[in-house]
Structure 1
Amino acid sequence: MPEKFARNLFVAAVAAASLTVGWPGSATAATAPPSAHLSDARIVQHFDLAGGRMPENIALEPDGSVDLAFSAARQIARVTRDGSVRVLATLPAPADGGTHTPALGFPLVTGLVRDAHGTLYLLYATGTAELTGVWRLTPGGAPERIAALPADGLPNGLALDSGLLYVTDSVRGEVRRVPAGGGDATLWADGPELAPAGFLGANGLKIHNGAVWVSNMDRGTLLRIPLRRNGTAGPAETRAEQLPGIDDFAFVGRGDRIVAALDQSNQVALVEPDGTHSIVLGARDGLQNPTAVAVRGDTVYVTSAAYLTEQDPNLLTARIRPRG
């Protein structure tokens, strides 16, 4: 499917969902003063929109490079500190062009994580049973699927913990778990808190302080699901609300402070442990439908896929500064 047509389908789907769900144009800021802010924001890399190089997710390399999932190009690429971009792998195109991919109508690479040995795990949504699933890319190797996921779903967020991969499905509204070595994907959590409300539900996913944290894009919520000692899911707790269009997010330090991408409003929010939040980056900083966030030390990395703006997909960095 031509990338331009694929993007038009995405724009139409998001526009329809926005009318249905009633996303506001910007997030409601916290009433309390933020404890930190972001400064020195700058775009460090621009990408080719026409070639489908729309960065959907990010993984950090120890040498300062970053790995990106280029969604519509079906690629994983590495951006080095000197700005060079190298494609590590291109996933096979589905025979039907991916037109049956739920919610979007085009095949796309979504979640991306790296293990301690440099192996990358990624998610691929195609609407086909043959290709949809969890894929693995070892250093210098070729991509291989290690677990099938439901073809009628949209695998999106991905996290790795203790040899297990956790996957959100934004259409089916659930979290599945897969052995990192490969095998069956089993249902780990579902329920109304994870379900979509017109377009996409459970989205970003992180494992932090004994829990699986999940964002719900349609509902604008951030959820904490306790990870019990026997590996099962506890009841979901809503930890933050009024975050319309929330996509991926990342934790700042060891506590529960979060930076989150708000896709439709071209913003990044700083979410405090008590659930209040403030807007710390916006369109004026160069955000173009931000999709993913990563934190290394006091540096925040934000990818912009430009799904709706259709202008300048990019990678942006900023510094975390304490207030006062």
Structure 2
Amino acid sequence: MPRLPRLAGVTAVALALGLLATAPAVGGEPTVSDPRVLAHFDFARGQTPENIALEPDGSADLTFFFARTVVNVTRTGATRTLATLPTVADPHTPVVGAAVVTGIARAYDGTLYVNYATGTRKTGIWRIARDGGAPRQLAELPADGFPNGLALDERRGVLYAADSVRGTVWRVSLKNGTRTAWATGPELAPGTGPDASGVGVNGLRFHHNAVWVSNSDAGTLLRIPVREDGTAGPVRTRATGLTGVDDFGFVERHRDTVLAALVTSSEVVRVGPDGRRTVVLTADDGLSNPTAVAVRGRSAYVTSAAYFNQDDPNLLLARVHQRARG
């Protein structure tokens, strides 16, 4: 999630756009085809999908950033509201100024967890029970921060949340909501130059016993191993040159291969384990400032929030398959 406008009347401050260097596909690498828009949403009503968690039946749970809601979208495009986060009378949220819902994670039992950024004590991680009911705050995070990407390590009983403003990955106990500043450092921090958006660490996934994050201002994809004692290992850069990178998803059966959303250029790129990148989806396929990717089997789901275009926020579904060697 880069620097955004308030929903009403504020001009978007776009991130500096750069040319995205791409590499030719290597035989055997996964590719993406047959994209179609599964559901269209209403930008004027704040229906700006920010993040994705997938259900066992193939439906997608989405966070609507400005509308402060969580919805479920079936594979036929039917949409229903699961929960609405509480109103905040006077939000002072960094970067956006409004109370917004960002990252989402799903537990095996169907419980959903979402990040809520408000600039108040309501900022933190909220729990939505599988049988419905009002969301309840699990953990309070700093009001001057911006919790963004979210992932769950259910075996250890912890959540990881990326704080885009404070340049921190928080580790939060599922049992009692206790928070720890798990990882910090310059690799996670927002940029300081004239073109910086103020958004550092952004997307976050737990993958193969490591926390992977993107840094929007730096255009990087980073890997942070989880040590045996649960502490963070050294931050390693796995890819660079990802201008406007937001959230991302891992391609199954292709170790450490990522599909990453580039919000400013309306592209999704495949990033290989060696850091090479190839554009696989564009605006011509229906993308409108994409924010997140989730992959399951041969299906890739992409949310587009239309933050800058302000036209056609949507959920796109595409096919992921092996490119034949030639």
Q: How far apart are 1:141 and its partner, in Å? A: 2.2
SS in 1 for 2:7: helix
Partner of 1:276: 276
Distance between the aligned counterparts of 2:60 and 2:203, measured in 1? 18
Of 164, 171, 184, the residue aligned with 2:165 is 171
Distance between the aligned counterparts of 1:235 and 1:10, measured in 2? 39
Q: How far apart are 1:184 and its partner, in Å? A: 2.0
Of 20, 25, 36, the residue aligned with 1:27 is 20
> Would the aligned equivalents of 2:5 and 2:96 in 1 still touch at CA under 8 Å?
no
Of 63, 72, 79, the residue aligned with 1:78 is 72
> Would the aligned equivalents of 2:260 and 2:293 in 1 still touch at CA under 8 Å?
yes
For 1:145-178, what per-residue CA distance to the aligned partner results, in whole angstroms no more than 9, with x for missing partners? 0100000010001000021000000011110010
2:237 is aligned with 1:244: no
Distance between the aligned counterparts of 1:278 and 1:83, measured in 2? 28
Distance between the aligned counterparts of 2:248 and 2:233, measured in 1? 21
2:95 is aligned with 1:103: yes
SS in 1 for 2:186: coil
Distance between the aligned counterparts of 1:57 and 1:296, measured in 2? 15
Show the 5 A alignment for 1:127-206. 127-129=119-121, 131-139=122-130, 140-161=132-153, 162=155, 163-197=157-191, 198=196, 199-206=198-205
Partner of 2:312: 312
For 1:24-45, what per-residue CA distance to the aligned partner results, in whole angstroms no more than 9, with x for missing partners? 1x42112564723211011010
Distance between the aligned counterparts of 1:156 and 1:88, measured in 2? 20
> Would the aligned equivalents of 1:40 and 1:318 in 2 still touch at CA under 8 Å?
yes
Give the alignment's TM-score, normalised by structure 1: 0.92
Q: How far apart are 1:9 and its partner, in Å? A: 7.1
Distance between the aligned counterparts of 1:244 and 1:323, measured in 2? 26
Partner of 1:290: 290
SS in 2 for 1:113: strand
Q: How far apart are 1:279 and its partner, in Å? A: 0.4
> Would the aligned equivalents of 1:11 and 1:307 in 2 still touch at CA under 8 Å?
no
Q: How far apart are 1:183 and its partner, in Å? A: 1.9
> Would the aligned equivalents of 1:206 and 1:250 in 2 still touch at CA under 8 Å?
yes
Deviates most, 246-255 or 120-129: 246-255
Distance between the aligned counterparts of 1:51 and 1:312, measured in 2? 12
C-alpha distance 185-38 of structure 1, shift in aligned 2 (>3 A):
same
Paired amino acid for 2:20: A
Partner of 1:6: 6
Distance between the aligned counterparts of 1:296 and 1:308, measured in 2? 28
Distance between the aligned counterparts of 2:298 and 2:11, measured in 1? 34
Distance between the aligned counterparts of 1:32 and 1:323, measured in 2? 9
SS in 1 for 2:6: helix
Report which of the two has the higher share of helix. Answer: 1
Partner of 1:93: 87
Q: How far apart are 1:8 and its partner, in Å? A: 5.6
> Would the aligned equivalents of 1:9 and 1:105 in 2 still touch at CA under 8 Å?
no
Q: How far apart are 1:5 and its partner, in Å? A: 7.1
Number of aligned positions between the proteins: 311
Structure 1: runs of 5+ lacking an equivalent: none
C-alpha distance 275-50 of structure 1, shift in aligned 2 (>3 A):
same
Give the alignment's TM-score, normalised by structure 2: 0.92
Distance between the aligned counterparts of 1:122 and 1:175, measured in 2? 15
Percent sequence identity is 57
**RMSD, matched Cα:** 1.6
Partner of 1:118: 110
> Would the aligned equivalents of 1:200 and 1:216 in 2 still touch at CA under 8 Å?
yes
Q: How far apart are 1:181 and its partner, in Å? A: 2.8
Structure 2: runs of 5+ lacking an equivalent: none
Distance between the aligned counterparts of 1:182 and 1:278, measured in 2? 42
Distance between the aligned counterparts of 1:317 and 1:235, measured in 2? 35
Paired amino acid for 1:201: G
